Amino acid sequence: WFPYPSKIMFLLDLLDNLPRLQLSRPHLQLFIWVLKELGVPNVPSVDQLRGMQEKLREKCGGIETKRFQSDLGNIFYCNDLARLIAQNYSNPHTASLLQFYPEEPDGVTSELWHAMKIRNMDPDLLTPMYRKEGIDFYVKELAELKDGQLVIPIRWIIRQKQMCANAFLVTREGGYLRIHSDEEINVKAEDLQFNFLDLISISIHQMKLIVMTDGSKHHASQMPNQLRDLAEGEELYSSWVIAWADDVSGNTSKQMNPHKNFYVTHGNLPGQLLQQEFHVQFASTSPHASTAEQAKVIREMVNDSHKNPVRVYNAATGRMCRFRMVVPNLPADNPQQSEESSHIGPNGNCKCRKCKTGGNAHYVESAEGFHALHKVGELRTTEDTLTEIKAQLEVAADGNVSEVKKMQTSSGIKDKVAQGWIVQMIKKNKQLHVSHPQLSSGEIKSKVLEWLYESTDEPWNPLLNFKGLDPHRDTPVELLHTILLGIVKYIWHSANQEWSDSQRAKFALRLQSADIGGLNIPPLRAGYMIQYRNGLIGKHFKALMQLMLFQVHGIIDDPRYAVIKAIGALGALLWFPEIDNMEEYLEDIKIAIGNVLDSFDAVDGGRIIDKMKLHTLVHIPEDIRNHGPLVRSETEVFESFNGVFRLCSIHSNHQAPSKDIAIKCARMDMTKHLICGGRWPSTGGNEWVSAGKGVQSILHENKVIQTMLGWAPHKKPTPGSLVAHTQKASLVKLWVQWNEKMYSLPSEISPGENSSWKSYKGVYSQSGDECREGSWVVASPNPSFQYMGRIMAIIRNCNGPGALILIKQYHLSSILHPFTNCPVLSFPPPDNPWIAVHTKDVLFALNVQHDCRTWKCDDTGLRSLIQEREKTDRTVSFIEHQEDNTFILNIFAVHNACRLRRILPRSLTAPVPLHEDHYKFHCQIAEQVRSTRTGRRQANAERRAAKNAGK
């Protein structure tokens, strides 16, 4: 049970450190009492347990919780970021999955390191070296290839799964070396032979000095790469730390207990893993210190790793290595991201944190100004923003409040940290005028500025001065708050506000009857969604985005219907986990965004002026190019970690919440690390050791513990494997009975007429979907063609090998459905509709809806209501489909959207612009907006005048 003194200590420590099931002290005392009552030997008291945990934390390289005090005087605690990230290196479950180099995607873009942010990052911030057969090659150093060619690698990059480098060619001219730095060539790492140090010793040996031509001398001055000194002969990597921050309540009840929190994930891990709570790590919290104050501490820790790289055991190589940290992006919700970019937020005239578009009412209501809101404006940069903040501070030192406000309104820059100082400076200025009337305004101004820079060296957002980070560009648009809780929510309210109760009931009934197969969402509770229509959350809106289109006919006007259609089309694209063809994809996204904005304009033209979430959409293409698929920047996993944080908070005694919670989280991280087999330096420091077998086996053997830790083993169901019915539901029939429709069979299968076949409940598709009888699927017996259809039965031969999926094939039309713009599936298809395929030939599940609008299906069906798993005497109605031959393929389904587009002809999926001439359309809308708003302003002015006259 190493490093625990006993099994009982280990189990109690584990029990005490489950993130999702935290025990209060009385609970723990109760457990201990029960154990003692049962006569278990050596049961410790709670205090003894706490003492052991503290010792363990010191002994086993636990994460240190450090105290900080900000410039504003706030005290808070932060867990050592370097050790948090280091755990992923010394943990055998994660170490081998870490990717350290940017990669040129070989087809599919799915990860952070495929995207341009990392690929274009300053090579000094990326992993600078590559070790080949024990030789470390560094960027910016001379190296020799096997064929004798000299090169200088500039940037390591993986191309077609091979380590390569962009490099400068070096030629010999006379006795000199000339570096051709105007052109980069591609060099394969396997061709490298000698590194710079080798070349030096060879040259000394041969008494030939390495001398550069005059034009190339500045390169020579950078050799050897200074980072070699920091690495001290060990491998030196870069870790991408993704930092999330937000306001979180520390209470589970509705009463707010405000905290500002920072969590991080390790961006070098595959994105799929980062969706698991297990990989979210707590950094800091404080009820007092703002996220900017905490960010400063995080930045210091990151910067420190550049001076002293973190030394850690790498479980993947079995060697010691070092790493530096870089923060590539900041996922968060919109208000937080605004704050991180020193932006004024949603109430300013310039509402965009990323660009300078927008302005006063006169401008944004003009044709030009209105049109400009639909495009990316002049991009903000950290330099401009800093200059603006400094200018505001100067004016504040002068005591000019109104001028500062004016500057903030016109620029859209209002830095939270600076604002704190601005308020104090203005006060100071006033005081000085009173206390020192003899001083001139200029003298007072200098005194105020003097005071400011004595109080702080950085009176603004620390993220503006963070190597490798530009908060304007690196705050990727977030799907949950911008799309689901933004646009989908808006259209949902806008639609159902106008509905009568009977229309709402109709919608609920239709939605409840919708087929949710292939959507990978939990069962809908449509009645609930209508009843609590003003309190829906992300998952409801995600379902509505994909399904609403098929349920609103007859109860919605055309303009709103167009918005629902446009947002459905965009949503399916935005949730892509993988991107095959980046340029085509981004073009599609641009059209889909244009359609959402234009259709929205037709419903409510002023909305894009008032709400920043609409304009923000236009920045999505660049965000995807820079940071990869947007699902990778989703904040859901961080938000769900808030649940763990809240439990920590309610179990702390609230005297020192920042410290207590940080310590608790550090303890949980350590227990997690130990049971994962993660290593730590032994007391002497020479060896890195891991926990004993007993401790490590728990994670693999105990499913409950896995769930409690938020850990999902990386295991997909085997494609083609079957899911059995319960004994009662399973059906055995002869082949002739199953084969009444005369299915066309795979050539190598010829079942005997009287062989018995047993039915199964489900089959796993290639994509991992569990498909059942009635599921719509794509099946492909050979790569050249695919069937779309419905599973009629899943059966297996009782006496011999062989299992078959019986499918009713539908025909995919070449034209789109007139209302939904989705492809149509009709029956019968021109060739044999009855197909049997092997179980492994099922590719993935589809979502298909009946064409109820055309067939006027109504609520004529009745079925018993089920309560407490029993049929009651009460009945509920449902939509009864009028026929079984015309269906609509839901291309707005998010799940498998990317797989579906791979097999459909492009003519069926390529988005089509709603308006060819955007500008003309925007001019019309701007005119409407102007006239309604001018009218409204006039009416308001008149009302005010009348009121004043009345006084």
Q: Which residues of the chain form contacts with Zn ion (CB under 5 A)?
A: 352, 354-355, 357, 850, 852, 857, 881
**What residues pair up with 67 in beta bridges, in sequence order?**
77
Nearest distance from C-beta of residue 608 to Zn ion, angstroms: 11
Query: Which sign, positive or negative, has the C-alpha torsion 585, 591, 593, 595?
Result: negative
Pick the closer one to Zn ion by CB: 238 or 546.
Answer: 546
C-alpha to C-alpha distance for 45 and 245, rounded to whole angstroms: 37
Nearest distance from C-beta of residue 893 to Zn ion, angstroms: 18
Nearest distance from C-beta of residue 599 to Zn ion, angstroms: 20
Read off the DSSP letter of residue 108.
-
Pick the closer one to Zn ion by CB: 16 or 851.
Answer: 851
Pick the closer one to Zn ion by CB: 364 or 395.
Answer: 364
Query: Which sign, positive or negative, has the C-alpha torsion 224, 226, 228, 229?
Result: positive
Nearest distance from C-beta of residue 373 to Zn ion, angstroms: 8
Nearest distance from C-beta of residue 352 to Zn ion, angstroms: 3
Do 824 and 851 meet the contact criterion of CB atoms below 8 Å apart?
A: yes
C-alpha to C-alpha distance for 876 and 504, rounded to whole angstroms: 16
Q: Which residue has the tokens 């200074």?
A: 226
Pick the closer one to Zn ion by CB: 56 or 857.
Answer: 857
Task: Determine if the peptide bond prior to 328 is cis (ω within 30°).
Answer: no
Do 705 and 671 meet the contact criterion of CB atoms below 8 Å apart?
A: no
Where does residue 336 rank: exposed (0-12), middle (13-18), buried (19+ CB within 10 A)?
A: buried
Nearest distance from C-beta of residue 614 to Zn ion, angstroms: 11
| Residue 435: count of CB within 10 angstroms of its CB | 8
Pick the closer one to Zn ion by CB: 615 or 679.
Answer: 615
Terminus-to-terminus CA distance in the chain, angstroms?
83
Pick the closer one to Zn ion by CB: 738 or 892.
Answer: 892
Pick the closer one to Zn ion by CB: 647 or 857.
Answer: 857
Nearest distance from C-beta of residue 850 to Zn ion, angstroms: 3
Do 100 and 131 meet the contact criterion of CB atoms below 8 Å apart?
A: no
Nearest distance from C-beta of residue 819 to Zn ion, angstroms: 14
Element at 272 (helix H, strand E) = helix 271-274
Pick the closer one to Zn ion by CB: 83 or 881.
Answer: 881
C-alpha to C-alpha distance for 348 and 543, rounded to whole angstroms: 32
C-alpha to C-alpha distance for 662 and 870, rounded to whole angstroms: 47
Cα–Cα separations (whole angstroms), residue 472 to 111, 246, 449, 506, 914: 21, 17, 28, 45, 30
Where does residue 831 rank: exposed (0-12), middle (13-18), buried (19+ CB within 10 A)?
A: exposed
Do 155 and 138 meet the contact criterion of CB atoms below 8 Å apart?
A: no
Nearest distance from C-beta of residue 601 to Zn ion, angstroms: 17
C-alpha to C-alpha distance for 507 and 697, rounded to whole angstroms: 51
Task: Determine if the peptide bond prior to 828 is cis (ω within 30°).
Answer: yes
Specify the amino acid at residue 422. I
Pick the closer one to Zn ion by CB: 733 or 918.
Answer: 918
**What residues pair up with 281 in beta bridges, in sequence order?**
264
C-alpha to C-alpha distance for 890 and 846, rounded to whole angstroms: 8
Spell out a b/e string for 702-731, using b for 16 or more CB atoms within 10 Å of the CB, else e. eeeebebbbbeeeeeeebbebeebeeeeee
**What residues pair up with 264 in beta bridges, in sequence order?**
243, 281
Pick the closer one to Zn ion by CB: 569 or 857.
Answer: 857
Q: Which among 438, 439, 459 has a CA at the least distance from the CA of 449?
A: 459
Query: Which sign, positive or negative, has the C-alpha torsion 42, 45, 48, 52?
Result: positive
C-alpha to C-alpha distance for 710 and 170, rounded to whole angstroms: 52
Spell out a b/e string for 452-470, using b for 16 or more CB atoms within 10 Å of the CB, else e. beeeeeebbbbbbebebbb
C-alpha to C-alpha distance for 661 and 646, rounded to whole angstroms: 9
Nearest distance from C-beta of residue 874 to Zn ion, angstroms: 24
Nearest distance from C-beta of residue 372 to Zn ion, angstroms: 10
Q: Residue 240, SS3? A: strand
Nearest distance from C-beta of residue 597 to Zn ion, angstroms: 12
Nearest distance from C-beta of residue 333 to Zn ion, angstroms: 17
Nearest distance from C-beta of residue 574 to Zn ion, angstroms: 17
Pick the closer one to Zn ion by CB: 195 or 512.
Answer: 512
Pick the closer one to Zn ion by CB: 287 or 377.
Answer: 377
C-alpha to C-alpha distance for 28 and 15, rounded to whole angstroms: 9
Pick the closer one to Zn ion by CB: 352 or 779.
Answer: 352
Nearest distance from C-beta of residue 131 to Zn ion, angstroms: 43
Pick the closer one to Zn ion by CB: 8 or 511.
Answer: 511
Nearest distance from C-beta of residue 376 to Zn ion, angstroms: 6
Q: Which residue has the tokens 């009028």?
A: 882
C-alpha to C-alpha distance for 328 and 112, rounded to whole angstroms: 9
Nearest distance from C-beta of residue 213 to Zn ion, angstroms: 47
460 token code pair: 């603004």
| Residue 342: count of CB within 10 angstroms of its CB | 29
Do 551 and 871 meet the contact criterion of CB atoms below 8 Å apart?
A: no
Pick the closer one to Zn ion by CB: 260 or 881.
Answer: 881
Pick the closer one to Zn ion by CB: 499 or 878.
Answer: 878
Pick the closer one to Zn ion by CB: 334 or 357.
Answer: 357
Cα–Cα separations (whole angstroms), residue 899 to 521, 740, 896: 17, 33, 5
Do 869 and 795 meet the contact criterion of CB atoms below 8 Å apart?
A: no
Pick the closer one to Zn ion by CB: 475 or 765.
Answer: 475
Nearest distance from C-beta of residue 465 to Zn ion, angstroms: 23
Q: Which among 672, 657, 631, 309 has a CA at the least distance from the CA of 483?
A: 631
